[in-house]
């Protein structure tokens, strides 16, 4: 057994040394065939012998093992089989006991048991709340904490005992008074003593499981601090233990690149995204790390990449390094926290003003304006300019304006008794003067027409009477 374990570790046992000294000649230029290359290196260093290890030597060793019963005649075949089986079992136990790679097996089992305990505790607590809720439903809304609820149910029993029961060691004073007030006006049904006995038995199991869970978590924390201190400081005990459990061992996790560690635990989402040509996931189990879960949504992807890169370095140091301190993990965590703050300020700068500050907006002032629709804007043709009517009730047209428009002659406008405008008679003339007179007459007609319409109103019907327009002398002459 000792010789086999020494050969496995690449060491030369005492019996092997004696055999090599007796058989191998010092001056002989011969080569030694070995089944293990590591053992061949040790023999070459110790005895300065040339050792050979290749596929032909491996095949030769296999043939020798199959013909062991024919070569060793002193031992029967049955005894040889029993010795081989015992040696194999002893060597396997030795490897499992002293292998440094198998120390993290305790972490894998502990974190798996911790997850199972959490599921069972949730089921038990929900069952206890539903069961006791038939008797005292108001207690669930008053006491929200699960542990305090279970302890209250165990100590209280029947809700009628709450009047004389002292719950100060379980609940604070305000909650205790609310529970007592709710018990007096409770709408729950009555239950028997046997029902209460089973409910309190369930409460005892829940309390025991909670105590064992706290002990198991403390054990896991100490184990992680001893085996992977840098990973524990960077990601936390639970996240680090789940990564080790998912990879199989700490050494296997150390062989993974940072990109694999980033999406470890989201394999289904990854393959589904690759199949449907969608976006691949940005994080897996590493999402539950404090550095990623507490960052804003827009920088979670960047933080997961950086955390995975630093975690891969920490894992390799823990698995292959010789130091047991957590200096590297502490340094990397400080760097990542500063980087997260920097990214947060950059994102807030994009959303706000320049330099990361909030963007300044002008003060909003509400100005109420009423807009009216003009139907004339729909017409694309040039509108004709219309003369605005003069307010004849307040003022009369000034004669001086007509003189400025139509020449040198001064027009005299006089108002008669009936309000009609009368023009002075002038001798007829020809040429330009006749044209001017014609224009003056037309203007006077337009001025006099509204006055005639307003004044000539019938007293009985109230309707306007139309009058024939009086032709001026200028029009008669033209006709």
Residues 180 and 160: beta-carbon distance below 8 Å: no
pLDDT at site 119: 95
pLDDT at site 50: 79
pLDDT at site 463: 42
* Residue 409 reports pLDDT greater than 80: no
Q: Residue 82 — pLDDT band, cuts 50, 70, 90? A: confident
Taking residues 273-299, report their average pLDDT.
91
**Residue 252: which of 326, 320, 325, 322 has the closest Cα?**
320
pLDDT at site 346: 87
**In whole angstroms, what is the distance from residue 56 CA to residue 474 CA?**
143
* Residue 91 reports pLDDT greater than 60: yes
Element (H, E) at 115: helix 105-133
Residues 474 and 434: beta-carbon distance below 8 Å: yes
**Residue 36: which of 63, 70, 6 has the closest Cα?**
6
Average pLDDT score over the chain: 78
Q: Quickly list DSSP for 60-112.
A: HHHHHHHTHHHH--SS-HHHHHHHHHHHHHHHHHHHHHH-GGGTTHHHHHHHH
Taking residues 406-426, report their average pLDDT.
45
**Residue 143: which of 121, 106, 104, 176 has the closest Cα?**
176
- Per DSSP bridges, beta strands 50-52 and 31-33 are parallel
Q: Residue 385 — pLDDT band, cuts 50, 70, 90? A: low
Read off φ and ψ for residue 33, nearest 5 degrees: -85, 125
Residues 93 and 85: beta-carbon distance below 8 Å: no
- Percent pLDDT > 70 in the chain is 69
SS3 30: coil
Residues 243 and 264: beta-carbon distance below 8 Å: yes
SS3 421: strand
CA angle 206, 212, 213 (to 5 degrees): 85
Residues 31 and 50: beta-carbon distance below 8 Å: yes
pLDDT at site 86: 82
pLDDT at site 444: 73
Q: How many CB atoms lie within 10 A of CB 63?
A: 8
Contacts of 372 (CB under 8 A, 6+ apart): none
Contacts of 310 (CB under 8 A, 6+ apart): 234, 332, 335, 336
Low-confidence winner among 41-55, 137-151, 428-442 (lowest mean pLDDT) = 428-442
**Residue 156: which of 144, 168, 146, 145 has the closest Cα?**
168
- Of 450 and 213, which is predicted with more confidence? 213
Element (H, E) at 466: none
Low-confidence winner among 68-72, 96-100, 180-184, 288-292 (lowest mean pLDDT) = 96-100
Element (H, E) at 336: helix 327-351
**Residue 311: which of 257, 379, 388, 352 has the closest Cα?**
257
* Residue 12 reports pLDDT greater than 70: yes
Low-confidence winner among 9-23, 161-175, 234-248, 348-362 (lowest mean pLDDT) = 348-362
Element (H, E) at 201: helix 193-227
The string of pLDDT tens digits covering residues 300-333 is 999 999 999 999 999 999 998 888 888 999 999 9
The string of pLDDT tens digits covering residues 345-379 is 888 877 655 444 455 555 556 566 666 766 666 66
Q: 467-474: list long-range contacts, CB under 8 Å, 24+ apart.
A: 469/445, 470/420, 472/423, 472/441, 472/444, 472/445, 473/423, 473/425, 473/426, 473/428, 474/434, 474/437, 474/438, 474/440, 474/441
DSSP state of 9: T
**In whole angstroms, what is the distance from residue 333 CA to residue 150 CA?**
39
Element (H, E) at 303: helix 300-320
SS3 52: strand
SS3 33: strand
Crossing angle between the packed helical segments 105-133 and 193-227, to the nearest 10 degrees: 160
Taking residues 14-39, report their average pLDDT.
72
**In whole angstroms, what is the distance from residue 279 CA to residue 282 CA?**
9
**In whole angstroms, what is the distance from residue 125 CA to residue 144 CA?**
12
Q: What is the token pair recorded at 249?
A: 């061992």
* Residue 464 reports pLDDT greater than 80: no
- Of 237 and 99, which is predicted with more confidence? 237
The string of pLDDT tens digits covering residues 178-228 is 998 898 888 889 889 999 999 999 999 999 999 999 999 999 999 999 999
**Positive or negative torsion for Cα 104, 217, 115, 256:** negative
pLDDT at site 59: 86
pLDDT at site 410: 45
Q: What is the token pair recorded at 291?
A: 């550095």
* Residue 236 reports pLDDT greater than 70: yes
Place of tokens 């001026």: 472
Q: What is the pTM of this model?
A: 0.56
């Amino acid at each position: 057994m000792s010789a086999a374990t020494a050969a496995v570790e690449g060491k030369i046992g005492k019996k092997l040394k004696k055999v090599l000294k007796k058989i191998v000649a010092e001056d002989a230029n011969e080569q030694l065939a070995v089944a293990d290359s590591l053992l061949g290196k040790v023999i070459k260093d110790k005895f300065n012998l040339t050792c050979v290890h290749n596929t032909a030597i491996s095949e030769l060793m296999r043939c020798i093992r199959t013909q062991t019963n024919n070569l060793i005649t002193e031992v029967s075949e049955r005894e040889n089989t029993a010795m081989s089986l015992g040696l194999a079992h002893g060597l396997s136990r030795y490897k499992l006991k002293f292998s440094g790679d198998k120390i993290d097996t305790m972490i894998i089992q502990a974190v798996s048991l911790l997850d199972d305990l959490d599921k069972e505790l949730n089921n038990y607590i929900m069952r206890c709340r539903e069961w006791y809720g038939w008797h005292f439903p108001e207690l669930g809304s008053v006491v929200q904490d699960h542990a305090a609820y279970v302890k209250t149910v165990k100590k209280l029993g029947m809700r009628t005992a709450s009047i004389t029961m002292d719950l100060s060691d379980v609940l604070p004073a305000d909650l205790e008074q609310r529970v007592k007030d709710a018990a007096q006006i409770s709408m729950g049904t009555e239950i028997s003593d046997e029902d209460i006995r089973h409910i309190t038995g369930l409460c005892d199991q829940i309390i025991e499981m909670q105590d064992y869970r706290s002990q198991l978590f403390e054990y896991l924390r100490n184990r992680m601090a001893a085996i992977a201190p840098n990973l524990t400081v960077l990601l936390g005990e639970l996240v680090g233990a789940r990564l080790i459990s998912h990879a199989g061992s700490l050494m296997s996790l150390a062989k993974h690149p940072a990109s694999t560690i980033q999406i470890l635990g989201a394999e289904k989402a990854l393959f589904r995204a690759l199949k449907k040509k969608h976006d691949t996931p940005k994080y897996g189990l590493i999402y539950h790390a404090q550095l990623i879960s507490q960052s804003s949504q827009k920088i979670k992807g960047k933080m997961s990449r950086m955390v995975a890169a630093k975690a891969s370095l920490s894992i390799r140091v823990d698995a292959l390094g010789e130091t047991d301190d957590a200096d590297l993990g502490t340094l990397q965590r400080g760097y990542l926290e500063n980087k997260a703050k920097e990214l947060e300020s950059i994102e807030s700068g994009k959303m706000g003003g320049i330099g990361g500050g909030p963007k300044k907006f002008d003060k909003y002032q509400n100005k109420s304006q009423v807009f009216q629709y003009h139907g004339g804007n729909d017409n694309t043709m040039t509108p004709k300019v219309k003369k605005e009517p003069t307010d004849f009730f307040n003022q009369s047209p000034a004669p001086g304006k007509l003189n400025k428009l139509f020449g040198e002659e001064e027009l005299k406008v006089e108002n008669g008794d009936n309000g009609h405008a009368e023009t002075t008679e002038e001798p007829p003339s020809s040429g330009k003067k006749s044209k001017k007179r014609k224009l003056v007459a037309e203007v006077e007609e337009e001025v006099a027409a509204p006055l005639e319409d307003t004044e000539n109103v019938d007293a009985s019907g109230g309707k306007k009477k139309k009058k024939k327009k009086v032709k001026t002398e200028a029009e008669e002459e033209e006709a």
